[in-house]
Structure formats: C-alpha cells, structure tokens
Structure 1
Amino acid sequence: MQKGSASRIEIPASAWDSDETREILRRRDFAGLFAIAIKYGASQVRIGAVAELGQPAVNAILHGKRSIADLNVIERVAAGFGLPDHARMQLGLAPRDTASPTGDHDGEHEEQTTELTGRLDAAATIDATTIMVLHTDTDNLRYLDRKLGGPAIADKMRAQMTQIERAHHHAVRHGIRTRLAHLLAETSSLAGWQAINTLALNDAWTHYERAKAAAYEAEDPALLAYVSGEQAYVLIELGRPAEATELLHHVHAQHRTRLPARMRTWLSAAKAEAAAVLGDETACRHALDQTTALLPEGDGEPEMPYLFINAHHVARWRGNCLVRFGDPDTAEDLRSALAGMDGSYNRAESGVRCDLGHALLAAGKPEDAQPHIHRAQQLATMTGSRRQRRRITELAKAVNRALGH
C-alpha cells in the first residue's frame, strides 16, 4: 500500500476539472488547494497528517504566512489528496501512469495545446507600455510594503508575481523577455524581503533564488548584486553571519567594477551589518567608513528603483551596527535617522526605535527607552514584522530587568 493511502482525503474526481481548480494547481496555490480539501470535509489536522506537515504549518499556509517549495512535500500533498494524473501534471508533477508518461489523455493534450497557444498569444501582446504599468504596480507595492507591511498586501503580491512570472515564461521576443526578467527579479526580491520580515526564511530563500535567476537573464550586474546581497540577510536571520559575510564579500568582489556608487554604498552598509552581528568591530567600522565615503547625493537612481539609501539611511545603519558595541554616539545617529523619516517607512522606524531603546538602555536610561519600545511595538504589529517583534520583545525584557520589574 502506498504510504499515506489509508488516510487519503476523499475528493470527488469532478473537483479537479473546474477552471478555478486548474488555476490553483498551475500556480501551486497550496492555500487554495487546502481550502478545496476543507470544503470536502477534511480538517487542518488531517491535511497536516497526510502531508506530514502538522496542523500549525497547514494553518500558516492557509493564512498566506507560509508556502511549500519542497518537492517531497508537494508529492505527499498530491498523494494524500488523491490527485489524478492530469491534476498532478498541472501541479508540475509526473503522472503515476508510468507506462504512459502523458497519461494518454487526448483531450488533455488538446487542452494543453490550446492553453499554451493562448498564453503565448497573450505574452505576444506585451509591449513597453505594458511593462511600464507592471513596473508602476511593483513600485506601488514597495510603498505599501514599507508603510503597511507584507501581510497587508499578500494577495496583491501573489497576483503581481503570478502575472509577471507567467508573462516572462511565455515571452518570445528577446527585448521584452529581458525587461520582464528584470521586473521579475525586482518583484521576487521584494517578496523575499517581506518573507524575511515574517521570518518565513525558506520562502525568502526561494524568492531570492528566483530573483537571481531572473537577474542573470536580465544581464544587470547591479540588480544581481542587490538580490544576492539581500539573500545574505536570510543567513543572518538563520544565525549564520559568517556565511552572510562571505557571500557579501563575494558579491562585492565579483561585481564592484560594474556597480554604480549607490549600489557599492549599499553593499558596504550590508557588510558592516554582517560584521556587527559577528562582533567584529574593526571590520564593521571600516565598512561604515566606506559607506559614508561612497554615498552619492540624493535618495536613489531612476535605473535602480528598488534601492533607497541616503544620509539618514546611513545614520540608521550606523546606529544599528554600533549599538552592539556600546558606542556613545549611537543614540545621536539613531535620532538623526528618525528625523529623516517621512512617515512611510513604518517597519524601518520600528527597527530604529528598537535600536534607540538599546542605546538608551546601554547609557543607563531604561526609562527613556520605554516610549520608543512602545512605539516600536505598535509599528511592528501594524506592519506584521515578526522579525522586529522578536527584537523588541528581547529589548523590553532587558529594560524591565533594569527597572527592577
């Protein structure tokens, strides 16, 4: 008997034939797939059992806080839900009828041909104006992300990713395909940063791998350096700062002669942060000095809409790094960073206030840290940043100990 067959979830064969279900399978939308199972009487516990995931993971997937990328898990879901061959193929899995790898479904073959033709025709209509609109949509998502947080725009992000990825996969004209690859890299990188902030680190890694592949195809060294550098933050959050440092130095060495000053500034700041986590104050200060020396005027470059770094951002980075070493000037750097915020960087402000709370605690002023902790908690909750909430909780405990609570 096939593993898991005794507890297989019974779903009518007709359920796999609707257009909506086909789209769920093609997108690998496991929240939608789990919802189908629930519709036919399966509980979250039972879904977790057949997929060997556990109920908490199923709940997280249903609420868009986690996804599934591991092929073994996908295979278990397909087996546990009893997917017929044509549904397995739509999910990107091989059919079980190995004697006839395509399942020998003439109707299915005709449907696939029609579907592919339709998607190629749709991609052929994409022009420069369409790509500009898609770019604008991603820029708007960036703004909403830093103001409201990733969880608030999860549905919009999924829709944007699906649209761009499908267009890119079916674009034939080289110029259009290259520009779509560029946009796919930018959007995947944004999704990766959102996943880091919700501590969905496996999802974040997957997003960055997609972003790197797209950046390679786009032949843009600055974009490739950026998405590779951001991936280093997954390693930092995993408690692997030495590997993050190695990755950042490799990215800088490989691309530095082809990178604009603002990108080199950002990479230096990222290296400083990794060095601070490692506890290497000398390397951290050297990287921060490089960051200040390299910083060009202005906030960003039109050709790099994904990168914002100015003097206030550098002050924020200095504060975040040097607070770890008890630097007396840290609080001033962080106050400068706060002063430069325009009210749209809510998640970042949460981090700055957390760092400022640490600086005030180190200066022997735990009572002055409390209002910053309170505001940081509000902003972290509003933006759904588990990453910041974890840091703030640790700081609040330290402040309470210092106050004798």
Structure 2
Amino acid sequence: MLEVPATASLRVYVSEWENGKRKISARFAAILRPLLGLTDGELRGGATADPPQVGGYDELLIRIDSSRSVGLDMVKTFMDQTELFRTMDRQMGAAGLVDQMTGHLARLEDALTFAILPDSRRPVAQALAGAATLAAWQALDAGAVERAWRNYDLGKRAAQEAEEPMYLAHAMAEQAYVLNEAGRPETAVALVREARRVGGGRMSPRLQAWLYAAEAELCAKAGAGYADDCRRALDQAASILPPGQDARDPDMLSIFLNSGHLTRWRGNALALLGDDDAVGSLYEALDSLDATFIRAESGLRSDLAQAHLARGEYDQAQEHLRKARLLASRTGSVRQRRRIDQLTQSL
C-alpha cells in the first residue's frame, strides 16, 4: 500500500516538482500519469529511455521473421484492442488510458517496422492509423497538444502506407481541431476541406456527412464571416447522411453519426453563431443521446449553456454548466473543463 505524505509535505513536493528542484519518483509518477493524462516522458519533463538497440544481423533477422506471424488474426486482435480503448474512452474518459494507449501504439509501430512486403505491411498500417488517430484525440482531450499533433501525423503516415483514403481524411479532419484549439480556425477550415478533397469519392456516405458536419463546426468557430459556409455544410451533411438510427460506420469504426448526432452538431454550430434555433436542436439531441456517451453529454450541456447565454437566460445556462462540469470531472477532460470555465466567466 502506498504511503502518501501529509498535505503540507505534498505542497512542498509539488512546488519543487514545478521548479525542477526535485525529480518525480516512480511511485508518484504511477499515480500522476492517469490523473493528468500524461505520458511518463511528459510528466517527468524529459524523453523516456531509448529502446534497446538491435544487437546485430541475427537479432534483426529474428525480429523480421517474428513479424511474419503478424497475420490477419493478429491484426484483428490489434483492432479489437483499439475498439476496447475507444469504448473505455467514450464512457470513462482518456486520462486513465495513457499508458495503455502508449504501449498499444508502440507494439503496432514495432510490428510495422519489421514487416517487409506491402501485403504484410498494409493491414498493420491500417490498424496503426486507427489507433494513432484515437490516441491523438485522447491526447487533445487531455490537453497534451503536441502529443496529439504528433499522433495525428503518425495516423496520416500509416493511412497513406495502408492506401486507405478514409483513414487519411479522418485523421486530417480531426487534426484540424488541434489548429482550432491553437487559435487558427481559418486554417482548420482549410484543412478539413482538404481532407474532403483527399478522400473524394472513395469515402463512405457517413464519413462524408461527418466531414461536412466537422467543417460546419469549424466554420462556426471561425466567426461570422463563415456563417453562410457553416449553414451550407450542415445542409450538405444532412443530405448525404444515410437514413435510420444506425450510427456506426461499418467501413470506419471511429465514426458515429446518425440524425440525432447531426442534430446535436447543428445545435452546437448554431449556438456558436448565436442563432436562436440552436436551443431547440440541442434539446432534441439531448433527448436522443446515448447514455454511454458521457463526454458527448458534457459537450452538449456546454452547448446548451452557450445557447442560453446568447438569449440572456442565465439560470438555465448555469444549471447546464453545473451538470457539464460534473460529467467532465468523470471523464477527466481538460478540453471540456477549459470550455466550461470560459462559459462560466460569461455568467
């Protein structure tokens, strides 16, 4: 059982950690990594130890021969692990998954490094593209911006090697959100449009609709000058989205989008534009929201708070912010908490 120092001692430790006067020990690092959503290298302020170097041709050939065992069954196992992490992230948040995702990506990268021929590399590269994009979104949610950017680039490179335009377009579009968070919404809009161009006609209708919805949100965040573009993109998304309540895209497992989700996205974009129609769309989306989408509900509550603030309805805004904060605390979302704090200052 870990003995935790008294509060006064902890305050001294934190001060010394922040000022570089004391190194974070392994036992405290094990506690702080899942709480803060950081890798060991990010937490301790330095790069993690380099992996052991390959010790010669014999060892290299052993690694290459071992890579031949990474057949379709093993690739499916990798993708099943990614799916498990995606489900855990959706329900519990990303902060506690940092170590698991870091190890998962390392194993996939290792498998790809020692695979030789394209037929054996492409399936592994596809699995890596999906895992890297998920890890990037988790890093963005945890506030680890540089890690998010690097993982998106890893996902794009893997998608290109796998010759999977859908995975490439998805990684590009999500990377646009990093640009938006960094204060470059116009560049973010340009990148998501480029993602649509790159994917072209080789994308599923659900992914195309998702890309238009993402473009609409980023246009709304870019300001009033993009308001018409935002509304056009929302209309395009609605016209392309397949009918029915099925949300999962069988060709792109990271995409969840049906009419209920798109209604929420429309409400979010309209709330950002200060449109009165936002409130109705958002309450409709709240009524149909899957209860397991904890982080999504936190975002939806924040959208409702923003919509009510635009109408001067401060009591309703405050109540939604209270619930959003509780949900964001459950998932450990730094990104959501930052937005909630910004909206709270407007009350």
TM-score (norm 1): 0.73
Find the residue that maps to 2:248 and give its secondary structure: coil
Name structure 1 gaps, 5 residues minimum: 1-42, 51-58, 79-86, 92-107, 400-405
Displacement, 1:352? 0.3
Displacement, 1:284? 0.7
- Provide the residue aligned with 2:346 in structure 1: 398
* Cα distance in 1 between the residues matched to 2:71 and 2:193: 38
Letter of the aligned partner of 1:65 in structure 2? L
CA 314–45 in structure 1, closer or farther in 2 if over 3 Å, else same: closer
- Provide the residue aligned with 1:29 in structure 2: none
- Provide the residue aligned with 1:215 in structure 2: 159
* Cα distance in 2 between the residues matched to 1:331 and 1:199: 28
- Provide the residue aligned with 1:21 in structure 2: none
- Provide the residue aligned with 1:270 in structure 2: 214
Match status 1:316 vs 2:264: yes
* Cα distance in 2 between the residues matched to 1:242 and 1:64: 29
Higher relative contact order (CA 8 A, sep 6+): 2
- Provide the residue aligned with 2:84 in structure 1: 140
* Cα distance in 2 between the residues matched to 1:61 and 1:392: 22
Identity of aligned residues (%): 36
Displacement, 1:258? 2.1
- Listed as ranges, the matches of 1:274-293 within 5 Å are 274-279=218-223, 280-293=226-239
- Provide the residue aligned with 1:128 in structure 2: 72
* Cα distance in 2 between the residues matched to 1:392 and 1:63: 18
- Aligned partner of 1:371 among 294, 315, 319: 319
Displacement, 1:120? 2.1
- Listed as ranges, the matches of 1:355-366 within 5 Å are 355-366=303-314
Letter of the aligned partner of 1:134 in structure 2? F
Show CA shifts across 1:185-208 (max 9, x none): 000000110111122111111001
Give yes or no for contact 1:143–1:344 (8 Å, CA) kept in 2.
no
- Listed as ranges, the matches of 1:334-349 within 5 Å are 334-349=282-297
* Cα distance in 2 between the residues matched to 1:112 and 1:334: 61
Match status 1:224 vs 2:197: no
Displacement, 1:114? 4.7
Displacement, 1:121? 2.9
Show CA shifts across 1:33-80 (max 9, x none): xxxxxxxxxx84686899xxxxxxxx87996525769xxx97xx69xx
User: How many equivalent pairs are there?
Assistant: 318
Name structure 2 gaps, 5 residues minimum: 1-15, 24-31
* Cα distance in 1 between the residues matched to 2:170 and 2:102: 22
Tell me the C-alpha RMSD between the 2 structures.
2.6
* Cα distance in 1 between the residues matched to 2:264 and 2:94: 21
Letter of the aligned partner of 2:195 in structure 1? V
Give yes or no for contact 1:138–1:187 (8 Å, CA) kept in 2.
yes
- Provide the residue aligned with 2:11 in structure 1: none
- Aligned partner of 1:294 among 240, 245, 255: 240
Give yes or no for contact 1:67–1:203 (8 Å, CA) kept in 2.
no
